Amino acid sequence: MTNIQPDDATYLAQQVAKGAVSPDELLDEALARVAAMNPALNAVVLMQEQTARDAIKAGLPDGPFRGVPFLIKDLGAEAIDFPSHSGSNLLENTKYTYDSEIYRRMRATGVVTFGRTTSPEGGVGPVTESAVYGGPTRNPWDVSRTSGGSSGGSGAAVAAGIVPMAHGSDGGGSVRIPASSSGLFGFKATRARFPDGPAAGEGWAGMAIDGFLSRSVRDNAAMMDACAGPDKGAPYAAPAMEMSYRDAIARPPRRLRIAVCDTSFTGAAIDPECKAAVDATAKTLESLGHTVFPGCPDADHDGMMRAWTRIVACGTASWILNTLAAKGREMQQGDLMGVARSAVSFAQGISGADYLNDVNKIHAYGRQMAAAFDTCDIILSATLAEPPAEVGRFSHDRDDYENYRVGAGGVFEYSPFCAAFNASGQPAASVPLHWTESGLPVGVHLAAPFGDDATLIALCAELEQATPWAHRRPAMLTDYLA
């Protein structure tokens, strides 16, 4: 059924509800697209077609996405029916005895989940190039480029039109980086907006959160509404929203004060294409009646990123050492790639007191970033300092975890914006508003005060209406549909 166009999930669910297409037919088409495009992308893994067919036969929940094909990231989202590698040979074919709360809530929307999407080992990195998948995940807009990380498989799958929306997670930009790299919309909600249980109370000292990559703002809004709220026993919860995400996008936001940063937050120059994306968006916002002015948040960005790097090293060491203990053996050749292996070594030099000091630094940074919104309502920047990187540039086959993150030419120089809002817990989004002359997507980044998700997503919806992007498709998908 290649005549089914890659419309958003809301549209496809409407077609199912009208009887114009069946869930089985949509799944057939999604599987056909996997067969056609996944060999070039390496984005969709661990497919469970029979599980999906059985779910359709049993009767799907009557949610907002009933019958729509869906994929979950191969990291987190634990589910009995979906084994996982979590991007690592050490965790290959892990089977779960429980369904995570986030998966339960996604399933209740009526989606037809049929597989997982690739992630880097342990979710660390702005690219998705894990040995367990036999090679890197590539970008549908240019297969020599990365689709981003750590939700890079989800980014590639949605950009290629395999599914209209996919699950991701974001601990340092891992939804927004693939959104920017793949020409999609990605939203990181306020800290603790979604459940982490039962496997965890929080991820990376509260910096990690689930999220979604989509072609439309409305799809993301509806899925976030369905998943929002703490689970039983959560250590803390996000403040209640003044309205739902869907209600927020039904009306334009009030006219806002928008601070525009067309450098990195530390003042370093960014790629001219990324600067052009910021400048053009600022003009669009001004034309919509918002007040636009230069401004970058005054905070200890370098100190935050070093604290982030140490906290994530400890988190990486924790899952690796716990896995080895559960297996009852020492680390073996081929268990881990270099970045994860060196993160364990790096973490061994961090004491408990050091770790708590780093958490305190993150909290202090959150207060600095809160103060940054005293004079504005929104901070606008690029999502990345460059267009999507070439495959191999941030390979995990290197034994220098700290330098990989914060050294010269490292991840923080490439992605200097996203982790700031994981550390602060504030909501942030990447919006696909620019493409380079060579056809590479470049996202713009918008962030709002803690808890003000409604204003942020309303502004994203207003930009979507003012500068639509749904018509843009990579040649790979256009050729498939021809």
**Portion of the chain with pLDDT greater than 90, in percent:** 98
In a domain, 383, yes or no: yes
The model's confidence at residue 6, banded by pLDDT at 50, 70 and 90, is low
In a domain, 4, yes or no: no
Q: Residues 394-450: pLDDT tens digits?
A: 999 999 999 999 999 999 999 999 999 999 999 999 999 999 999 999 999 999 999
> From CA 84, how far away is CA 94, in angstroms rounded?
5
Catalytic-role residue among 130, 150, 180, 216? 150
Describe the strand order of the beta sheet including 441-447 as a list of residue ranges. Answer: 44-45, 112-117, 69-73, 165-170, 209-214, 185-188, 428-435, 441-447, 378-382, 257-260, 291-294
Catalytic-role residue among 73, 151, 216, 424? 73
Active site residue 73: yes
pTM flag (> 0.85):
yes
In a domain, 220, yes or no: yes
Closest by CA to 442, choosing from 379, 389, 378, 377, is: 389
Taking a C-beta distance cutoff of 8 angstroms, is the pair 11, 66 a contact? Answer: no
**152 residue type, one letter:** G
In a domain, 295, yes or no: yes
Closest by CA to 305, choosing from 412, 233, 386, is: 412
Q: Residues 283-335: pLDDT tens digits?
A: 999 999 999 999 999 999 999 999 999 999 999 999 999 999 999 999 999 99
The model's confidence at residue 2, banded by pLDDT at 50, 70 and 90, is very low
Q: Is 424 exposed, middle or buried (0-12, 13-18, 19+ CB in 10 A)?
A: buried
The model's confidence at residue 1, banded by pLDDT at 50, 70 and 90, is very low
Residue 312 belongs to a domain with what CATH number?
Answer: 3.90.1300.10
What's the structural domain count of the chain?
A: 1
In a domain, 128, yes or no: yes
Domain residue limits at 290: 9-481
- Report the pLDDT averaged over residues 24-31: 98
- Reply yes or no on whether the pLDDT at 5 is more than 60: no
Catalytic-role residue among 174, 180, 214, 415? 174
In a domain, 26, yes or no: yes
Query: What integer pLDDT is reported at residue 7 of this predicted model?
Result: 82
- Report the pLDDT averaged over residues 177-186: 98
Active site residue 100: no
Query: What integer pLDDT is reported at residue 108 of this predicted model?
Result: 98
In a domain, 59, yes or no: yes
Torsion of CA 338, 404, 39, 160, to 10 degrees: 150
Query: What integer pLDDT is reported at residue 391 of this predicted model?
Result: 98
In a domain, 253, yes or no: yes
Q: Residues 261-274: pLDDT tens digits?
A: 999 999 999 999 99
- Report the pLDDT averaged over residues 109-138: 98
Active site residue 174: yes
- Reply yes or no on whether the pLDDT at 459 is more than 70: yes
- Reply yes or no on whether the pLDDT at 3 is more than 80: no
